[in-house]
Chains A and B, each alone.
Chain A
C-alpha cells in the first residue's frame, strides 16, 4: 500500500518524463499547424521549385525556398569538407596516441570551443575572416558562403571530435591487441582495425556535426550576406534556411501568409535535421559492425 505522497511523486516524475515527448511532439505540431494555411493555399510545390523568396513584393509575393535550400547545402557541405577529416584525425589522436595528460588537457579545451556562443563566432567571422577572404581572393567583400562554411565547420568540429573519440575508445581492446600481436604497427592498427571498427560511430559523429551545421543560425546570419539570389560559387553571398527565418521573424505580421510561409521553412529545417539526427541515432545504437 503506497502512501499518498509516494503516489503523487510517482505521477509528478512520470509527467516530467512525458513532458519531454510532448515538447518534441508540440514543436512538430506547432510547425505543422502554422504552416498548414500556407500549404493549403499554395501547396508544397512553389516552396521547393526555383524562384525567389519575396514575401513583400507588391501584388505578387513569392515564397520559393529553393535558393535558401541551396545556400544551406553549400554552407553545410563546405563546412563538412574540412571539419570531418580534421575532426576524425584529432579524435584518432586523442583516443589512440595522446598521452593521458594530453587528453586531460585537450578535452576540456575542445569543450570550451564548443561553448563559444555562435554570435561571438559570427562577430569573429565578420571582423577577422571576412577581410582575410576579401584579400586572398581579391574580392570586394569577404561576406560570402565560404566565410559561413569556415565558421560552421569550426562550430561542428567539437561535436565531431568528442563523439568520434567516444566511438574509437569504445572499440574493444582485444581488437587492438590481436592486431599488435600479429605484428601490425600502431599506425596500421589505428587505420586498419580501430577506425574501421568504429566506423558507424564516426559516421554518426559526422552526421550530428552536419545536423549542427544545417541548423546553425546566428553565425551564418552574420557572415554570409543573406542575398536571396542564386549563388554562383562559394565566393558569393548566400542566405540559408535558418538565417532566412531569423531575418523575417522579427517583423512578420502575425497569421499572414508570410508568417505561415516562415513556418513552412521551419518545418523543412526541422524535418531535415530530424532525419539527419535519426540516422545518427540509429547508427549509434545498432551493434557495431564488428559484431557481424
Chain B
C-alpha cells in the first residue's frame, strides 16, 4: 500500500510542470512547421538572389545565341505559353463537363463512384507515365509527331484531375435552394445549369483553371518525348511544330549543356522566371479561392 502511494506521488507532476512540458511540446511542433517554411525560404532565396541579376529585357525577349551560351529565353517563354493554352483548351471544357455530370446530372451510385475513383487514380499516375502514354498515343497512333498539340494533350490529361476537382468543389457550393427554385419555375436541367449554377460557380472554376495552368507550365517529364525541343531557330508556327519550354530549357541548361558552368547564370535566370510564373499563378488561385469561399460562407 505504502509503496503504491509513493509511486503515484512521484508520477504526478504539478500543474505548472505540466504546463511547461506542454509549451515545450508545442514549440517542437511549431519548429517542424518553421523548418518546412525555412526550406521553402532557402529555395526561393537561392534562386531569386542568383537569378535576379540575369533577368533583364534582353533576357526575356531574345532567343538564345552562340550555342545557347548567350542571349535570352524568349522562345521558351512563348513555347510554354502556347502549350499551356492547348492544355487548358483540352482540360477545362472536359473537366467542367465531367464535374457537371458528376454533380448535376448523374444519379449517385456505382458509376459515379467509378468515375471519382478513376479521377483520384489519374491524379496519382506518375508524370513520366503520362509521357509514355502521350508518346505512344498522340505522337505515334494519332500521328501528331512531337508537337505542341501532342504535348498539350498529354499535359491536358495530367491536369484533368485538378480542373475536375476544383469545378466540382465550386458546383457543390451553389445552394440547393437555387436549383429547386428554378426547377419549381419550370426550368429544364440544362437551363438551370446554364443560367443559375454555372454563373455562381464560375469563380471557383476559374481557380481550378489557374491551378491547372500552373501545374502544366511546370511539368517536364510529360513533354520530354511529346514535343519539347532542345533548341529551335524559330518560334513554333503551327500546332504540329515542336517547341521550346521553360522547364525543359532549365533541365537542359542545368544538366545537358556542354558548358554547364558557363551557362549556370542562364539556368538561374530560367529557374527564376519559371518559379515566378508558377508561384504567381498559384498565389492568384489561392487568393481567388479564398475570396470565393468567404463569399460563399457569407451566403452572398
Contacts and interface: CB of A to CB of B under 8 A. Distances in A.
Contacts of B282: 111-112, 115
B235 interface: no
Given A124-B46, A222-B251, A273 B22 contact: no
Interface string A195-219: 0000000000000100100111110
Interface string B217-237: 111110011000000000000
Identify whether the interface residues of B are mostly helix, strand, loop, or mixed. helix
A161 B264 CA distance: 33
Given A16-B94, A110-B36, A242 B125 contact: no
A170 interface: no
Q: Looking at A93, A126, A208, which has the most chain B CB atoms within 10 Å of its CB?
A: A93
Contacts of A126: 254-255
Contacts of A217: 126-128, 220-221
Contacts of A263: 132, 136
A61 to B, nearest CB: 19
Interface string B96-107: 111011101110
Contacts of A92: 29
Contacts of B251: 119, 122, 218, 222
Interface stretch (B52-60, B110-118, B173-181): B110-118
A42 interface: no
B67 interface: no
Contacts of A273: 124-126
Given A17-B98, A119-B247, A126-B255, A242 B218 contact: no
A182 interface: no
A246 B189 contact: no
A186 interface: yes
Interface in B69-103: 94-98, 100-102
A20 B105 contact: no
B183 interface: no
Contact of B124 (A9, A111, A242, A274): A274
B32 interface: yes
A80 interface: no
A263 B42 CA distance: 38
A24 B32 contact: no
A116 B43 contact: yes
Interface stretch (A26-34, A134-142, A171-179, A230-238): A26-34
Contacts of A117: 217-220, 247, 274-275, 278
Interface residues of A, number: 84
B188 interface: yes
Nearest to A254: B140
A218 B188 contact: no
Contacts of A254: 140
A160 to B, nearest CB: 10
B221 A214 contact: no
A57 interface: no
A250 B221 CA distance: 11
B132 A9 contact: no
Contact of B18 (A25, A118, A185): A185
A128 B278 contact: no
Contacts of A120: 43, 47, 218, 247, 250, 271, 274-275, 278
Given A16-B98, A187-B25, A249-B224, A124 B43 contact: yes
Contacts of B283: 108, 112
B124 A112 contact: no
B278 A277 contact: no
Nearest to B50: A127
A13 B105 contact: yes
B218 A97 contact: no
A113 B36 contact: yes
A30 B137 contact: yes
Given A6-B190, A274-B124, 20 more contacts: A3-B188, A9-B193, A13-B105, A23-B160, A24-B125, A27-B125, A27-B129, A92-B29, A98-B33, A110-B36, A112-B279, A115-B215, A115-B281, A117-B219, A124-B271, A128-B42, A187-B26, A214-B126, A245-B131, A250-B225
